[in-house]
Structure 1
Amino acid sequence: MGRVQGKVALVTGGASGIGHSAATLMAKEGAKVVIGDFNVDGAKEAAELIRNQGYEATGIFLDAGQEESIKEAVEFTVNQYGTINVLYNNVGLTNLQKDLDVVNIDLAEWDRLMNVNTKSVLLGSRFAIPHMIKAGGGSIINTASMAAFAGDSTRSAYGASKAAVVNLTRYIATQYGKDNIRCNGVAPGLVLTPAAKNNMPEEVLDIFAKFNALPYHGEADDIGNTVLFLASDESKFITGQTIEVEGGHYMGNPSIADFQEFMKKTQQ
């Protein structure tokens, strides 16, 4: 207990899934948490669940596609709790219908994903950093994705936007390290959030499982616990890094799952 005791954290996209997990875990470890989400009712419900467990949290509206809304979320956090020590930039969008291959992608969707997935990280950091400097330092954590490190047949804008988050993380870490501000990223693989469970057919989940090094899928708390670690002083000498939390899905030779299956057949 107390791994982030006394810290003030703003979590964007915290109404459900990974953001909700991170907000809850940080609150349980002593942080005062502001949960910002476009789904304001969900943000308030998430905060209420945390308060019902005896911890401190507040839910507010946040539109990560609007500069003023991001600024207001940071200012609310500082006004509510006196400072901001941790910023978790977690908002991210994807659209399988419009975010296609390079020839067929909807260009308006490209702009939208770049604005929400990448620019929101820039803006959240831009508004939080001056307050962190006054507080003597802080930790910025950004949700990237394994899509930043591997090509795919679709989701071109999503992958590009998350690759930009990875490098922006390095730039923030480099530019503000002397102010005792750390900046790191987390790159999830497939995580069984409610959205994933509700939208992915079992056959698709089985395909992912086939290529995982581990015999199971990730859960929201697997990412939440990584965020908690990066928010805490346990990670005080880590900055500019993006931690891949993906069950070894991208680690091995891509043919190894099929090869293992072939070997099993030959041994029967």
Structure 2
Amino acid sequence: MGRLAGKVAVITGAGSGIGRAAARLMSGEGARVVVADFDAEGAKETARLVAEAGGTALPVTVDVTDEASVADLIAAAVAEFGGLHVLCNHVGGTNPRTDLDLLRMDLAEFDRAVSLNLRSTLYGARHAMPHLIRAGGGSIVNTASVAALVGDVTQTSYGAVKAAVVSLTKSIAVQYGPQRVRCNAIAPGAVLTPALEDNLPESVVESLKAGNALPYLGSPEDIGHTMVFLASDESRYLTGQLLVVDGGMTAQSSAAPGRRAMLPG
């Protein structure tokens, strides 16, 4: 029996990358998954891959910045599968061309970052909560970022809103722990998603590797496996926490790569 047997999981941003990996992994552990994405074709393709592997998936098109659309998503999941046990709020992002430093950042991008990363997480949790309580408890997994933990020369909006996602995660965990609803967040580091590989030159990818304690970057499946753990009863005593899954990036001193190069042998 799979670790998620009998559970229903809604995953936003599941049309590609980490969200797709999570959908396939959760299905492999016995969950019936709702594959939600703004990209309808991407959601359908993920659902096809799940079905091809013997799982059950419902593709749903959603705009997570629109509360009514999120409410419809949760309603569709419950109508199709009869309940809800897991919600993964995975959608997020920023525009690196306009999310710059304090003086040059586009304030419209800040508002967009709040809507896409923070309000979407709130909407998902708000509309899923009654169903999670009705199921006798459940798990919410929010996607934050290492940008919430360290400063950067750009991505001012992104770092700020992802830090807010961490705070929101803790509040939800405290408020609904008595109803057996757990809420945790994941902070991925650099992950080799199609978007990263398509948009960054090899020199930048190599610099990201050098910033890790491990000699490689993560895969979408690395984050997906963490989502499975947080969704499962194996993490039943874990709530209100941020799991940093970054290959040791935030643990490593900025001087470490240079000092490592100085070591003999």
Shorter chain as denominator, the TM-score bin is: over 0.9
Q: State the 1:110 CA deviation.
A: 0.4
Deviations 1:42-90 (A, max 9, x none): 1011101111111100111010111111110011001110111000000
2:14 equivalent in structure 1:
14
What pairs with 1:66-105 in structure 2 (closer than 5 Å)? 66-105=66-105
Runs of 4+ in 1 over 4 A off after TM superposition: none
Deviations 1:99-152 (A, max 9, x none): 000111111110011011001101100000011111111100000000000000
1:56 equivalent in structure 2:
56
Worse-superposed segment, 222-231 or 207-216: 207-216
**Normalised by the size of structure 2, how large is the TM-score?**
0.98
Conservation of the 8 A alpha-carbon contact between 1:48 and 1:58: no
- Counterpart Cα distance in 1 of 2:47 and 2:79: 17
Deviations 1:221-248 (A, max 9, x none): 0000000000000000000011000000
2:40 equivalent in structure 1:
40
- Counterpart Cα distance in 1 of 2:62 and 2:240: 26
Q: State the 1:256 CA deviation.
A: 1.2
- Counterpart Cα distance in 1 of 2:211 and 2:115: 32
What pairs with 1:177-192 in structure 2 (closer than 5 Å)? 177-192=177-192
Residue 24 of structure 1 aligns to a residue in which SS? helix
1:140 aligns with 2:140: yes
1:236 equivalent in structure 2:
236
Conservation of the 8 A alpha-carbon contact between 1:121 and 1:142: yes
What pairs with 1:116-265 in structure 2 (closer than 5 Å)? 116-261=116-261, 263-264=262-263
- Counterpart Cα distance in 1 of 2:249 and 2:57: 34
Q: State the 1:41 CA deviation.
A: 1.0
Residue 152 of structure 1 aligns to a residue in which SS? coil
**Normalised by the size of structure 1, how large is the TM-score?**
0.97
Residue 221 of structure 1 aligns to a residue in which SS? helix
RMSD value, Cα? 0.9
- Counterpart Cα distance in 2 of 1:46 and 1:212: 30
- Counterpart Cα distance in 1 of 2:256 and 2:199: 28
- Counterpart Cα distance in 2 of 1:96 and 1:232: 34
- Counterpart Cα distance in 2 of 1:175 and 1:245: 26
Query: Matched residue pairs, number?
Result: 265
- Counterpart Cα distance in 2 of 1:52 and 1:248: 35
Conservation of the 8 A alpha-carbon contact between 2:212 and 2:252: no
AA in 1 matched with 2:183: C
Worse-superposed segment, 143-152 or 247-256: 247-256
Residue 142 of structure 1 aligns to a residue in which SS? strand
Residue 59 of structure 1 aligns to a residue in which SS? strand
Q: State the 1:260 CA deviation.
A: 2.0
- Which consecutive unaligned segments of at least 5 residues does structure 1 have? none
Residue 71 of structure 1 aligns to a residue in which SS? helix
